[in-house]
Chain A
């Protein structure tokens, strides 16, 4: 990430007068703590107990994040939800037709994660991955100002967001969002069953 100055615009910008005269930016020091999200990446370091002989091999996974994207986390969420439960190839194909700024970042993150999975996490085939988790998070917010009538001022929020993705080895679930839990025949059967279960009150 930007080692020179991740923090330098955290300071709220007040009036332009103040801004021009005061040195409000603190340079990022080598010993300063990074405020990037770090919990999600720790899952990459979790070691699972060895499996018994004959047990089904545990699917590999890789967690990846893209931090401080200049995009609203709320808008990014829509793109993130779109690719959830898709295979990697399908997601990349879909994202290249999404006419949103966030789609570029999400696509980049997925491709990076795919590369990581193959090089570092013992995944054999790069197409054999699906998107198990995909969500956005709130990054830093720079507050700007705007003028209102009658000498008032308003606050403008320039938001940054994080994107998190977890790729898992294997085939994606049939119906990730449970959109069609029942086939038409099953729906009919269910309806028939419920009809037959009706009871006339005060009867046996």
Chain B
């Protein structure tokens, strides 16, 4: 109780003489003689305080091993598994090549004429594929399917705009899901389907078997020419893409996929075919500073003179 009020009030503490003779101490609980400093320190039990912000990535493997041994921890089990999903394919097989200037150019241009001839050749393959689909799905009709495809297309986009992950899974395959959700985190999407400029039509169909003969997947490409509205807002409600008052004409080739061998398989959006002649994307409304280029370290190769070896 050396630091109590009593000692502070007592006149002894206020003696001026000691302060004048030697450098004064502000506290009375320490002895003036520094040799007792060590003894005072011994009053405390020494413990190891953990460094909570230690950077583990910078520890050497030996140091890490030592630390884990001290704490009796086992090294983490290596993750050697590779997940597979077998109810959807990982890509588009024999993808559709959209004719150049589709939706705009006249039918008379030379490239267009060539492509129509090629298309006719390819049509037989599509017919075969549709026949195959019909063998699994009896009431498949390419005209009716177009309407169904449009519904799926709209529902998929609406569930994305509503941020409804569970509904999105119904309309989108496992391959397309991450592509749909990419960059949509913490953003508000306002999407509206206005109307179709041209009725949707099936332009391409393919079937493939994977692993075994009976395991058949079908992919149907549908051409949509529609008018849509899209506005994307960032976390703070600031517009970063599109507009809510401007409607745009959209020409899209959407690939729908179904696992035919699966009794409960459904048609889902699988991919989008972007032609080479597609107009470039709108620049982002967000502007940011251009990051400075990383300094290029020039490695100067030093010619090392080989020590002459004496012939023996």
Contacts and interface: CB of A to CB of B under 8 A. Distances in A.
Interface of A: 1-6, 8-9, 13, 16, 25, 27, 45-51, 53, 57-60, 66-70, 118, 121-122, 124-126, 140, 142, 144-148, 156, 158, 160
A1 B51 CA distance: 10
Contacts of A146: 43-45
Contact of A2 (B53, B72, B288, B289): B53
B95 to A, nearest CB: 35
B300 interface: no
A116 B54 CA distance: 21
Contacts of A48: 235-237
Given A122-B286, A144-B44, 17 more contacts: A1-B53, A2-B52, A3-B56, A9-B49, A13-B45, A16-B45, A48-B237, A50-B188, A50-B239, A58-B237, A59-B236, A70-B51, A118-B289, A125-B289, A140-B52, A145-B45, A147-B42
B237 A51 contact: yes
Interface in B56-83: 56, 67-68, 71-73
B192 to A, nearest CB: 14
B51 A46 contact: no
Contacts of A53: 245
B3 interface: no
Contacts of A57: 236, 238
B44 A27 contact: no
Contacts of A142: 47, 49
Nearest to A59: B236
A124 B163 CA distance: 27
A67 B52 contact: yes
Contact of B239 (A51, A67, A124, A140): A51
A2 B50 contact: yes
B131 to A, nearest CB: 48
Contacts of B240: 122
B81 to A, nearest CB: 17
Interface in B263-312: 286-289
Given A27-B72, A146-B45, A122 B53 contact: no
A51 B243 CA distance: 12
Interface of B: 42-45, 47-54, 56, 67-68, 71-73, 186-188, 190, 231, 233-240, 245, 286-289
Given A47-B186, A49-B237, A68 B53 contact: yes
Contacts of A13: 45, 47
B235 A121 contact: yes
Nearest to B47: A144
A114 B160 CA distance: 31
Nearest to A139: B52
A4 B67 contact: yes
Nearest to A47: B235
Contacts of B73: 4, 27
Contacts of A1: 52-53
Given A124-B287, A144-B45, A69 B239 contact: no
Given A25-B71, A27-B72, A9 B50 contact: yes
14 contacts: A1-B53, A2-B56, A4-B56, A4-B67, A6-B52, A9-B49, A13-B45, A48-B237, A50-B188, A50-B190, A68-B52, A70-B49, A146-B43, A148-B43
A124 B238 contact: no
A48 B236 CA distance: 5
Contact of A5 (B47, B71, B187, B234): B71
A4 B71 contact: yes
Contact of B237 (A50, A144, A160): A50
B235 A118 contact: no
